Amino acid sequence: MPEKPKSLKIWWETENGFGEKYPCIQGTGYGFKESGVGQAQVEKRDLLLKLIGISGEFPVEMAGTAVGSKTYAAYLATQLKKEGYISVRKKDGIRGYTLKAKGRRELLCRYPGDVSLYLEGLSETNHVKSEPQKRLRLHRMSMAWIFFYRMGLRMFLTEKPGFPPVFGKGSKNPAYYGAAEFKRNSDRIKGSRACGLLLCEQQIFVVYHSMDRRMKWAKKMERSMRSFAEGVMMEQGSVYGADAVMIGNTMDLMPELLESDGGLKGELFQVDDVFEHYYYFSMEDVSRVQFRLVTDRDAGRRFRDFLCQMLEKRADKEYALPTGYDENGNPVYFCYELELRDLMRIRQEMDWTGDGKVVCLDFQTDALRTYLGKGVEILAVSSEKVMRYIESG
């Protein structure tokens, strides 16, 4: 464990032996491993083909993220097109890969357990879409798949327990379930904008992907989605409520979501009371550290307790927004989880009091400064150090 710093600033101003760069990693659950090294070409080819199959239409620009290299992704896509497995749809400024009949046959033959749900019957991913909004919905769901794949989660049906999983049987590590895996069981949630459900140890998150703009949002429908998710948890014996994960292409979208008033017709997303917590993540790989702190209760609690040692005094009220106070009596707010409702309350409180310090991860600094104001004092913790600290436990 890093040595306890003497003041609130020291730990993120010095290296303390945690200055190494992290490689691009992936894995199962939280068991990350290096990716793109020593893996056979056929594995990457099949991965890309499977992702296109379960997505219905896979955004061209995400192929490089999926296989770890834009150049290699372009090569694989070219080969798959030449061999007649996939095609490219270019319409309305939207470019996506779709399966051809030959690709569908190969996947159903070689990976029926992983793809049959998506390639057979009346599933949403089994029919060619032409309307831009429907195609973009498939792209959002595809990008959610990629996000969780890059976070190291189990995604394909043969890699994880069936839905819903039974706690205590392989549920220690998180798993992501796409909308097709649970929406077919309930008509009342088919209109939800949710891309999927993230199940952690006795914890559930409803997942949304907003891409680079505010998504459409119907409170009544999303309340039904939350009720469905919490019902799943109650059946498994959990008393925790469902929270929301909001994913955007970059950190730049977060201030826009926080400032949103729902649009002229009130049909766009704004932070409301449908969920108690909304956690924002960007598609960038640096979100890996934040993701671990939010979804791994033990890691998040341990890191928070460590940071609290740097405070002169802890907040004495149960629901106080500041976590504590520094040596000068200034309130200190821990914002690295990027919980949107808390961020709105923190800005309001800082506007009233005129002081306060914010602790966040290094890649979150610009977005928080945009939202909280250029004058806010931000203490940015190195993401690399935090990941090393988490893994050391």
Q: How far is CA 211 from CA 153, 251, 369, in A?
A: 20, 11, 21
Specify the DSSP element, H or E, that contains 191. Answer: none
Strand order in the sheet with 324-325: 313-314, 324-325, 331-334, 357-361, 377-381
The confidence score (pLDDT) of residue 36 equals 34
Q: What is the pLDDT of residues 42-91, one digit of tens each?
A: 689 999 999 999 998 999 999 999 998 999 999 999 999 999 999 999 98
CA distance 313 to 327: 8
CB 141 within 8 A of CB 209: yes
Mean pLDDT by 10 residues, the chain (393 residues): 45 35 33 37 86 93 92 95 94 92 94 90 62 90 93 87 66 81 78 92 90 94 94 79 95 97 92 96 94 93 92 82 90 96 96 91 96 92 93 81
CA distance 131 to 14: 53
Which residues, in sequence order, are CB contacts of 2 under 8 Å at separation 6+? 11, 16, 17, 18, 306, 385, 389
CA distance 119 to 56: 8
CA distance 98 to 142: 12
The confidence score (pLDDT) of residue 14 equals 35
Tokens 């002081």: give the residue: 355
Q: What is the pLDDT of residues 183-209, one digit of tens each?
A: 776 777 888 999 999 988 778 999 999
The confidence score (pLDDT) of residue 9 equals 45
CA distance 350 to 333: 10
Q: How far is CA 6 from CA 305, 307, 310, 392, in A?
A: 16, 12, 7, 22
* 290-320 b/e (C-beta count within 10 Å ≥ 16 → b): bbbbbbbeebbebbeebbeebbeeebeeeee
The confidence score (pLDDT) of residue 121 equals 64
The confidence score (pLDDT) of residue 226 equals 95
The confidence score (pLDDT) of residue 123 equals 59
Q: How far is CA 260 from CA 172, 247, 274, 314, in A?
A: 36, 16, 15, 33
CA distance 83 to 198: 35
CA distance 87 to 80: 8
The confidence score (pLDDT) of residue 34 equals 36
Nearest to 57 by CA among 5, 2, 92, 97: 97
The confidence score (pLDDT) of residue 127 equals 63
